[in-house]
Amino acid sequence: MRASSKTWAIIYSLTPEVLLAQGLGEVQSANLMQAIDASRTRALEKLLVALGIKHLGPAAAESLARRIWFSRCRGECLGC
């Protein structure tokens, strides 16, 4: 079963209060929130490799990430 983008988005909307209400302890909640916050700053190519896309290794992921980044920058510069 594959996770949808909505599933991943939910992770970033979690709060310590929600985790505590779901039965996680204070230390577990704090550790999970810290890990989620750290994941926000990871490089796109690392995320692409971690997704386990068939035939997408580190070199291809880096190239794809660079292409996505430049496309976004160009789009913003053009007002798209």
Count of beta carbons in the 10 Å neighbourhood of residue 61: 20
pLDDT band at 80 (very low <50, low <70, confident <90, very high): very low
Which comes out higher in pLDDT, residue 42 or 73?
A: 42
Whole-angstrom distance, CA of residue 38 vs CA of residue 8: 15
pTM of the entire structure?
0.54
pLDDT at 2: 57
**Across 5-9, 18-22, 36-40, least confident range:** 5-9
Write a three-state SS string for 55-66: CCCHHHHHHHHH
- What is the number of other CB atoms lying within 10 angstroms of the CB of residue 60? 14
Q: What is the secondary structure of 21-33 as a DSSP string?
A: HTT--HHHHHHHH
